[in-house]
Structure 1
Amino acid sequence: MATGLEGKRQNKHDVNGTQRKHPLTVDGILLDRPLNDPKGGEQFVQDAFQVILDEAIRKGTDVDEQVCEWKEPDELRALLDLDLVDAGEPSEKLLERCRDVIRYSVKTIHPRFYNQLFAGLDHHSLVGRYITETLNTSQYTYEIAPVFVLMEEVVLKKLCELIGWKNCDGLFCPGGSMSNMYAMNVARYKLFPEIKKRGLWELPRMAVFTSKESHYSVTKGAAFQGLGTDSVYMVKADERGRMIPKELEEQISIAKSKGAVPFLVNATSGTTVFGAFDPLPEIADICEKQGIWLHVDAAWGGSALLSKKHRHLLTGIERYLVNEIKERPGFRLLMEPQFVNVCFWYIPPSLQGKEDTPDFQKNLGKVAPFIKEQMVKQGTVMVGYQPHGNNVNFFRQVLVSPRVSLDDLDFFMNEIQRLGSDFQPQ
């Protein structure tokens, strides 16, 4: 690192005869020209793009490749050689590191990645990311980002039209958690605009209402904004994970009886586990009657607003999986899916016919973790699992990637059966 500037007067002319007025050196480096090599940099970018294309895009979407090449933390740490060094490294070494990063990362664009609420690859969007990262601008003024500011206006206007709103405005958020925090802040400001100047000190205690199936960012937002998690009233949901309007009314009454001021109801369109949609018309009526701001967390299910024509494409592949679950021995559906989250158990041969035994539920809860561990270590599939209420661990498959085929779903279920055949209760 540079520790100081050495104001050494150099020869008035460099090797090319160009005059320099006050050349300086830092740690022995003459600062009379750009420190990087443009041509060498361009070549590295081309080489790196080729690595990305071959290793990430092509192999990452190839069904014959692994979803992940799993290594335990200590082994992976040794393979990657992550220690920071003082000196630079040649391009060949950097490209090798690029390959390693891709090789040992999870390929979320793989057709057999079902683990999170995102998956797949859109090549055109990827190019858009390349452009925005290369330009490295910011959105706060037209001066610094004229093209992107105009694009943002057009996209927001079109989104409003697709939803059916005539007079609206909006902004893009970095994620669902921040969107919920923004909504909480806006709702609070609407009711108590003086908070911007005076803060929370002279305001009454406030109350937020959300379903027990809602995203954890609601309580996180309450803590972050100084309201406290106790200000969040959890509303009961029905067996399909939807908020119960009568329970909402009851919780509002309870909050008022404690002297709290209701200011926000957070409804959910597409819950994390079940993909459930809260009954928005009934909830909206309650909010209108009570004078409470209604926010809809549609980070997962909001896309259903955008297409009446093409949603059946996802629904079709989802129904295929549901029908297979109903027909295959050992598979048991938790509930009929409302969205593209398909939740189910697999009962391996070692547990079949023992459903009435005392340890059945305990052992069933170990099946999904057992199978997933084998899947990840072998790199064949990634899928989530979790318990919910009185329900022991079940698989939660999210069908969102456009690359998923019926063959992939067949492979997925066959893989569960193959790996599950080795499960033995303890």
Structure 2
Amino acid sequence: MSHVSPVSSDGQIMEPTLRDLSEPLIDHEEGQLFLNEAFKIIVEEVFCKGTDVKQKVCEWKEPDELAQQLDLQLRDTGEPQGRLLQRVRDVAKYSIKTSHPHFFNQQFGGVDYHSLAGRFLTEALNTNLGRMIPEDLDEKIELSKSLGAVPFFVSCTSGTTVQGAFDPLDSIADVCNKHDLWMHVDAAWGGSVLFSKQHKHLMKGADRANSVAWNPHKMLVAGLQCSVLLLKDTTNLLKQCHSAKASYLFQQDKFYDVNLDIGDKSVQCSRKVDCLKLWLMWKAVGSTGLEERVDKAFLHVRYLVEQMKKRDGFLLLREPEFVNVCFWFIPPSLRGREGNADYQNRLAKVAPIIKERMMKQGTMMVGYQPLGNKVNFFRVTVFSPLISHKDLDFFLDEIERLGKDL
């Protein structure tokens, strides 16, 4: 027997009753009703309010208050459908609206590869531009070999997380060919530029790589999660590396061609079919539509940078190569005081305070971070198909409003 908790007319949970386990545990009519109502909530809270510029990007609550609001406690007895639907509504309401026009964060976390993480040698780097230096890479490989090491892999980046830097793939491919090294391109963020005739030159040489990783859920805004790994190798390499050949999962004596079974070559056996999201989106908007998304992002970046240069207090880290705009906001109290001993320490505190204010007021979301010897700066990524020039003007006005008294 299992417990069922009936609800009284005033909504109070009554003492549980026992259920006959010889009967079905699932009421399909009740489940259908729940899904229908939950879907209405998701459409209202996520799709309508979540993309409405007049709504807040986030509804801030302190963690303890939010835990109480959501009632995170788990109990022996289940809750009635009405309360479950309220949980769905609350979770949607208090989640950050990542599809909002004023959500300027990238839809993923992590550190800036900055031509460092996963690479052969960290010294092979142009620090100011965030790009790998092929000549230095070649020298370090030679040095490593002379010390008895066996290098085998170089990981390039097309679109680093913070600065949006693109490595010179053609030149790196020359080095990899010279030393017979596997060349991988992490194009998770920047790979979508290949859809644009105007901007695909940023990935010139990608066709010479042995493997390329790409996330359509980032710049193209495909549904999370949608990831691609492209291999030049045509010998079914993934299956050779990951095949478990488990007879209880992948029988070889089926009535159809078992080569059609792709589960045994996936890195994660039970992974959902990411390609369906990309295929449906591509079918819906076509290659031209995807190209427009990329070109629109670059157009908005140019506009945003132009407007920044017309205003006092905005200082670019460097001219953007991609759709990442990295900048400091210098509040009036710090302008003209760059020579003061405490200037950098004071500047480092500006972005965190502005971020706290924007989150608590729910007006927008934008990330910040330090990089090397550079103190905290903002990083705005401009790639949402919903963004207009009006939203970018709002972004600049809001940074000024939130930071003018610092």
Same fold (TM over 0.5): yes
Q: How many residues align?
A: 299
Conserved 8 A contact 2:126-2:132: yes
1:315 aligned residue? 298
1:43 aligned residue? 33
Task: Say yes or no: does 1:300 pair with 2:189.
Answer: yes
Letter of the 1:213 partner, please give it.
Answer: H
Which of the residues 67, 83, 92 maps onto 2:73?
Answer: 83
Task: Say yes or no: does 1:213 pair with 2:114.
Answer: yes
Which of the residues 355, 361, 364 maps onto 2:338?
Answer: 355
Call closer, same or farther: CA 1:35–1:2 in 2, change over 3 Å.
Answer: closer
Provide the secondary structure at the position in 1 that maps to 2:37. helix
The 1-side partners of 2:332 and 2:126 are apart by 34
Deviates more, 1:32-41 or 1:295-304: 32-41
1:415 aligned residue? 398
Task: Say yes or no: does 1:377 pair with 2:278.
Answer: no
Task: Say yes or no: does 1:404 pair with 2:387.
Answer: yes
Task: After TM superposition, give the deviation of residue 304 of structure 1 in Å.
Answer: 0.7
Task: After TM superposition, give the deviation of residue 356 of structure 1 in Å.
Answer: 2.0
Call closer, same or farther: CA 1:107–1:212 in 2, change over 3 Å.
Answer: closer
The 1-side partners of 2:123 and 2:28 are apart by 57
The 2-side partners of 1:212 and 1:116 are apart by 15
Provide the secondary structure at the position in 2 that maps to 1:371. helix
Conserved 8 A contact 1:67-1:107: yes
The 1-side partners of 2:314 and 2:304 are apart by 11
The 2-side partners of 1:393 and 1:380 are apart by 21
Provide the secondary structure at the position in 1 that maps to 2:356. helix
Deviates more, 1:319-328 or 1:361-370: 361-370
The 1-side partners of 2:365 and 2:151 are apart by 41
2:62 aligned residue? 72
> Any idea what the Cα deviations from partners look like across 1:246-276, whole Å, max 9, x if unmatched?
1211221232122111110000000011100
Identity of paired residues, percent?
56
TM-score normalised to structure 1 length:
0.66
Conserved 8 A contact 2:60-2:94: yes
Call closer, same or farther: CA 1:214–1:2 in 2, change over 3 Å.
Answer: farther
2:43 aligned residue? 53
Conserved 8 A contact 1:215-1:272: no
Task: After TM superposition, give the deviation of residue 292 of structure 1 in Å.
Answer: 0.3
1:265 aligned residue? 154
2:11 aligned residue? none
1:101 aligned residue? 91
Conserved 8 A contact 1:341-1:397: yes
The 2-side partners of 1:113 and 1:72 are apart by 20
Provide the secondary structure at the position in 1 that maps to 2:152. strand
The 1-side partners of 2:150 and 2:168 are apart by 23
User: Structure 1: 5+ residue runs without aligned partners?
Assistant: 4-26, 119-174, 178-210, 220-230
The 2-side partners of 1:2 and 1:45 are apart by 23
Call closer, same or farther: CA 1:233–1:385 in 2, change over 3 Å.
Answer: closer
Provide the secondary structure at the position in 2 that maps to 1:319. helix
The 2-side partners of 1:320 and 1:114 are apart by 15
Call closer, same or farther: CA 1:176–1:374 in 2, change over 3 Å.
Answer: closer
Conserved 8 A contact 1:67-1:379: yes
The 2-side partners of 1:2 and 1:256 are apart by 67
Call closer, same or farther: CA 1:215–1:45 in 2, change over 3 Å.
Answer: farther
Provide the secondary structure at the position in 2 that maps to 1:339. coil
Call closer, same or farther: CA 1:320–1:393 in 2, change over 3 Å.
Answer: same
Task: Say yes or no: does 1:331 pair with 2:318.
Answer: no
Provide the secondary structure at the position in 2 that maps to 1:87. coil
> CA RMSD for the aligned pairs?
2.3
TM-score normalised to structure 2 length:
0.70
Task: After TM superposition, give the deviation of residue 403 of structure 1 in Å.
Answer: 0.7
Structure-to-structure mapping, 1:133-212, within 5 angstroms: none
Task: Say yes or no: does 1:366 pair with 2:255.
Answer: no
Call closer, same or farther: CA 1:268–1:107 in 2, change over 3 Å.
Answer: same
> Any idea what the Cα deviations from partners look like across 1:224-264, whole Å, max 9, x if unmatched?
xxxxxxx8655322411111111211221232122111110
Letter of the 1:60 partner, please give it.
Answer: G
Provide the secondary structure at the position in 1 that maps to 2:334. coil
The 1-side partners of 2:354 and 2:110 are apart by 30
Letter of the 1:43 partner, please give it.
Answer: L
The 1-side partners of 2:355 and 2:21 are apart by 56
The 2-side partners of 1:290 and 1:404 are apart by 45
